[in-house]
Structure 1
Amino acid sequence: MTSRPFQQVDVFTATPCLGNPLAVVLDGNGLSTEQMQTFTDWTNLSECTFVLPPTQAGADYRVRIFCPGRELPFAGHPTLGTAHAWLAAGGQPQGEDIVQECGVGLVRIRRDGARLAFAAPPLRRGGPLDEADVALIARGLGIARDDVLAHSWCDNGPGWRAVMLRSAEQVLAVKPDAAVLAGLDIGVVGPRGKVGVVGKMGSDPHLLFDPHLLFEVRAFFPGNNGIAEDPVTGSLNAALAQWLIGAGMAPERYVASQGTALRRAGRVHIQRDADGTVWVGGESVTCVQGTVQL
């Protein structure tokens, strides 16, 4: 075993214990995939990352991202949390932006005051869900099919299936059925305020939003005991932003709230630049710092 620098970071919050925790092993050299997975499962957190030397030109570091039971090609809160820990440990980017190498390729991370923000990677799959999937998700969330106002694939590594409900209150009230939703990554979003159906866009309603309102988001994924809920989810919020802004259902700049149902207060800042790049940002804070024996 080797003593390795370690941080546990709370992401999408500036207040410890109100965001989404992440374990970061800042030196993953020499560890096997099995060792990384075993340590991740032991932490009992939603994700753990391992920092390694980059293999692609232009990258500042490489990261491998694990959640219980599997490795992920990309995830949002691990991206921001790892960048925060890397900077806190003395990391120096080659250019103005930090460039992370991971399973989906190179991901840019920019600094905006106290926040870090990553450039959302391209969707691997978008477009409306099959009607059978929508009906299954509605049943699994304990809602009527008519309560789903819009839906889309939001696959950017994690294969999120996303549904838009009528309100934030309805999002917070859903009670997922683990037996019905087994094996699915489900994202649920609803507006914090009034929303009106003003027309049709393909098979989905075209919704009109007040650009000053927040959205409420929840994320459900397969867990060790059936289905788990993620406190704050960067990858899902990135894909939701690409879907909703692209479909004209959200403004180019907004803030999403996530974690309320888990007594957290995550805040995800979304902005789409003129060139179409969607940036997903938030604050992070280090809660634990030291070494780990691996």
Structure 2
Amino acid sequence: MRRFSQVDVFSSEPLAGNPVAVVHDADGLDAAQMQRFAQWTNLSETTFLLPPSDHAADYRLRIFTPGGELPFAGHPTIGSAHAWLEAGGAPRSAVELVQECGAGLVRVRRGQRLAFAAPPLLREGPVSAEERVAVLTALALTDDDVVDLSWGDNGPGWVVALLRDASAVLAVRPDWSSFGDLDIGVVGAYPADSPCAVEVRAFSPGLGVVEDPVTGSLNASIGQWLAGDRLPTSYVASQGTALGRAGRVYVERDGDTVWVGGDATTTVSGTVELGP
């Protein structure tokens, strides 16, 4: 039996964020066992805590969607860090901990809420004309609906569409049959006096997640693209509204680093039987 936690991430309201399943002390499990359990939980991500292989890390994390393993994801990073600390994990530093994952070492800052340093982008910049057509078709939008498009791939493969405002984001009705292997994020601004700066949505049907409730990796990509330019250097993003959630993601650009933070609350704890 292994310790198990389910953590609600990116909301201070009960059951209004994005849950992640966390298996503690996952030594001895192979990738096939991890993938089967991720399919069974049917959450956007399920993670497995392991001893680090890099001496600079506090722990190692493997991250699975129902459709496959990811090198990095945001809400699993915060939720797993929360679960690791809650289970008695002792980081080397009093102010941050270091997570080892497929994307390398990820710093997680401690404070009022946990926040991770956005990892370097694997692909960024403008999309091609052919890619633009594919994204617009998948989102069932026209050229006039989209202000700008950019790659923001930090592991899950995001391409991000900036729409004219938050209302346009909430009105998107994708054409799921046209997605292929695209992972698309959309973002649009609220009026200047609103509690949140932007509304965000994330669509990843190829990963087994039709629409993700609240997405740290996508918000990291958006922050790296827009914070300090079209958005303030520090702002709060809303996500999950279309799904009846109340996700809040705290984004801050500090020099060249974008920090992505959010609340985390353990909602389920116990043990799970996953083999030897």
Instruction: Map 1:149-168 to 2 at 5 A.
Output: 149-168=147-166
Unaligned runs of 5+ in 1: 195-209
Supply the distance in 2 between the matched residues of 1:69 and 1:288 (Cα, whole angstroms).
23
Q: Deviations over 1:178-201 (max 9, x none)?
A: 11112110000000127xxxxxxx
Q: Does 1:189 align with 2:187?
A: yes
Instruction: Give the superposition deviation at 1:222.
Output: 2.1
Q: Determine the structure 1 residue equivalent to 2:211.
A: 229
Supply the distance in 1 between the matched residues of 2:10 and 2:207 (Cα, whole angstroms).
24
Instruction: Compute the TM-score of the two structures, normalised by the length of structure 1.
Output: 0.90
Q: Determine the structure 2 residue equivalent to 1:139.
A: 137
Q: Determine the structure 2 residue equivalent to 1:199.
A: none
8 Å CA contact 1:74–1:102 kept in 2: the answer is: yes
Supply the distance in 2 between the matched residues of 1:121 and 1:94 (Cα, whole angstroms).
20
Supply the distance in 2 between the matched residues of 1:211 and 1:261 (Cα, whole angstroms).
18
Out of 253, 258, 262, the residue aligned to residue 278 of structure 1 is: 258
Q: Determine the structure 2 residue equivalent to 1:61.
A: 59
Unaligned runs of 5+ in 2: none
Q: Number of aligned residue pairs: give it.
A: 273
Q: Determine the structure 1 residue equivalent to 2:250.
A: 269
Q: Deviations over 1:190-233 (max 9, x none)?
A: 00127xxxxxxxxxxxxxxx8975100000002577x6000000
Out of 257, 263, 273, the residue aligned to residue 293 of structure 1 is: 273
Q: Does 1:78 align with 2:60?
A: no
Q: Determine the structure 1 residue equivalent to 2:238.
A: 257
Supply the distance in 1 between the matched residues of 2:180 and 2:91 (Cα, whole angstroms).
41
Q: Deviations over 1:240-268 (max 9, x none)?
A: 1001126x111110110000000000000
Supply the distance in 1 between the matched residues of 2:151 and 2:45 (Cα, whole angstroms).
22
Out of 190, 194, 197, the residue aligned to residue 214 of structure 1 is: 197
Instruction: Give the superposition deviation at 1:58.
Output: 1.4
Supply the distance in 1 between the matched residues of 2:41 and 2:194 (Cα, whole angstroms).
39
Structure 1 vs Structure 2 CA RMSD: 1.6
Instruction: Map 1:90-109 to 2 at 5 A.
Output: 90-95=88-93, 96-109=95-108
Supply the distance in 1 between the matched residues of 2:30 and 2:166 (Cα, whole angstroms).
42
Supply the distance in 2 between the matched residues of 1:102 and 1:39 (Cα, whole angstroms).
19
Give me the identity figure in percent. 59
Out of 199, 207, 220, the residue aligned to residue 238 of structure 1 is: 220
Write out the 4+ residue segments of structure 1 that deviate beyond 4 Å after TM superposition. Answer: 210-213
Supply the distance in 2 between the matched residues of 1:142 and 1:221 (Cα, whole angstroms).
15
8 Å CA contact 2:196–2:238 kept in 1: the answer is: no
Instruction: Give the superposition deviation at 1:136.
Output: 2.2
